[in-house]
Amino acid sequence: MNNYENLKNSHPCFGGQKNNKGRIHLPVSPDCNIECKFCDRKINDYEQRPGVASSIIKPEEALDIIKRSLELCPDITVAGIAGPGDTLATSNALDTFRLIKETYPDIIKCMSTNGLLLNERAEELIEVGIDSLTVTVNAVDKRIQAKLCSSIIYHGKRYEGEEAAEILIENQLEGIRKIAAAGITIKVNSVLVPGINDQHIEEIAETVSEAGAVIYNIIPLIPQHELADCEAPTCSQIDGARRKAEKYIDVFRHCQRCRADAIGIPGKKDFGGQIYFNRIAHKDTFSHG
Ligand code: CLF
Ligand code: SF4
C-alpha cells in the first residue's frame, strides 16, 4: 500500500507540488445513487462539463486499455475510477481494481466516490487494496447539503431534502473513518458553490480532517442543471476558501476537473481520444475525482 508520503511524489492529485505523473481514468461506473443539483450525466463526445464520458467500458476491457495507455504515456502511475457515475453504485469499479491488482501490481489504484455506500462497502474496498480514495463531501451540515443534493436512493428507497442529506453525511464520515483507520490515504473534494457552501468550507475541512482525510481539493462550481443560475466562484473566492481550509488540512491546488475518461498527465496532452473508441479530441472536463 502506498502511504501519503509516497503518493506525494507518485500521484498527480496527492502532492502539493506538480509532480508530472499521469493517470488513466477507466469509465466503468455508469450509474449514480444520488442527485447532485449541479450534475447532469450524459454519454457523448462533445460536452465539456461534469458527468460526461464518451463511452462506458467493461471491467475486462480495462487491462488492454491500461497496456495501450502506458505505451503512449509511460508517465502514468495511477489507474483511477471516477465515474461518470458513482464507483460504489455498482460493483464494476471494485471488479476492475481486482483485475488490475493481478496484472499491474505496481500501478496506484485510485477511486473516487460520493460516499453514500462507503460505510457499508469499506471492508471490500480495503480488501481490494485501494491506494488512494477521494470522497466528495460538499457539506457536513444537512441544511446546506440539502441545497446541493435533491435526493438519494438508499437501499432501494428514495429520500429527499434534509433526510437524504443526513444519511449521506453520516455514511461519508463513517466511511472515511473506516478507510483511514486501514491506512488508506484519503482526499476530500468539495464543489465550491457561492451562496450555498462558500462560508462552510472551513467546517468541512475541520470535520473531514478529524475523520481521517489528509488532503482537500476545492473545485469551483460549473453552473449547470438545477444550479445553472448560480455564479461560478471568482479566483479570490476560491483562494479564500483554500486559505481557510489549509488551517486544518493540506490543500491540493492543481485540479484539472478531468473527464471521467481522461488519460495522461493532468493539464498536459490528453490521450483519451486515441484510446477510447468514440472520443473526439477536446479539452478535459470534470470528473469528481
Ligand atoms: Fe483520477 Fe481523481 Fe484519482 Fe486523480 S483525478 S480519480 S484523484 S487519479 Fe485529480 Fe483530475 Fe482533479 Fe480528480 S486532477 S479531477 S483531483
Ligand atoms: Fe452522482 Fe457524481 Fe453526479 Fe453527484 S456529481 S449526481 S455523485 S455522478
Q: What is the pLDDT of residues 244-271, one digit of tens each?
A: 999 999 999 988 888 888 899 988 888 8
Q: State the pLDDT confidence band at 287, using cuts at 50, 70 and 90.
A: low
Q: State the pLDDT confidence band at 275, using cuts at 50, 70 and 90.
A: confident
Residue 285 within any structural domain of the chain: no
Q: What is the pLDDT of residues 219-239, one digit of tens each?
A: 999 998 889 999 999 999 999
Report the residue among 108, 112, 192 best suited for mutation to probe ligand 1: largest number of ligand atoms under 8 A from its CB.
112
Q: Comparing 51 with 208, which gets the higher pLDDT?
A: 208
How far does the centroid of ligand 2 lie from the alpha carbon of residue 222, in Å? 13
The pLDDT assigned to 278 comes to 56
Residue 47 has pLDDT above 70, yes or no: no
Q: State the pLDDT confidence band at 277, using cuts at 50, 70 and 90.
A: low
Q: State the pLDDT confidence band at 288, using cuts at 50, 70 and 90.
A: low
Sheet holding 34-36, edge to edge: 34-36, 149-154, 157-160
Q: State the pLDDT confidence band at 54, using cuts at 50, 70 and 90.
A: confident
- SS in 3 state form for the chain? CCCHHHHHHHCCCCCCCCCCCEEEECCCECCCCEEECCCCCEECCCCCCCCEECCCCCHHHHHHHHHHHHHHCCCEEEEEECCECCCCCCCHHHHHHHHHHHHCCCCEEEEEECCCCHHHHHHHHHHHCCCEEEEECCCCCHHHHHHHEEEEEECCEEEEHHHHHHHHHHHHHHHHHHHHHCCCEEEEEEEECCCCCCCCHHHHHHHHHHHCCCEEEEEECCCCHHHCCCCCCCHHHHHHHHHHHCCCCEEECCCCCCCCCCEECCCCCCCHHHHCCCCCCCCCCCCCC
CA nearest 286: which of 252, 262, 257?
257
Decide whether any atom of ligand 1 lies within 6 Å of the 220 Cβ: no
How far does the centroid of ligand 1 lie from the alpha carbon of residue 265, in Å? 10
Residue 47 within any structural domain of the chain: yes
Residue 288 within any structural domain of the chain: no
Nearest CA owner, ligand 2 atom 4: 36
Q: Which domain holds residue 132?
A: 3-275
How many distinct structural domains can be found in the chain? 1
Residue 171 has pLDDT above 80, yes or no: yes
C-alpha cell at 74: 509511460
Looking at residues 180-209, what average pLDDT do you find?
97
Q: What is the pLDDT of residues 117-138, one digit of tens each?
A: 999 999 999 999 999 999 999 9
Q: What is the pLDDT of residues 58-103, one digit of tens each?
A: 999 999 999 999 999 999 999 999 988 999 999 999 999 999 999 9
Residue 189 within any structural domain of the chain: yes
Residue 194 within any structural domain of the chain: yes
pTM of the model: 0.93
Report the residue among 31, 36, 42 best suited for mutation to probe ligand 2: largest number of ligand atoms under 8 A from its CB.
36
Residue 35 within any structural domain of the chain: yes
How far does the centroid of ligand 2 lie from the alpha carbon of residue 74, in Å? 30
Looking at residues 17-27, what average pLDDT do you find?
87
Residue 289 within any structural domain of the chain: no
Decide whether any atom of ligand 2 lies within 6 Å of the 85 Cβ: yes
Decide whether any atom of ligand 2 lies within 6 Å of the 194 Cβ: no
The pLDDT assigned to 282 comes to 42
Atom of ligand 1 nearest to the CA of 110: 3
| CATH number for 58 | 3.20.20.70
Residue 85 within any structural domain of the chain: yes
The whole-angstrom separation of Cα 131 and Cα 3 is 8
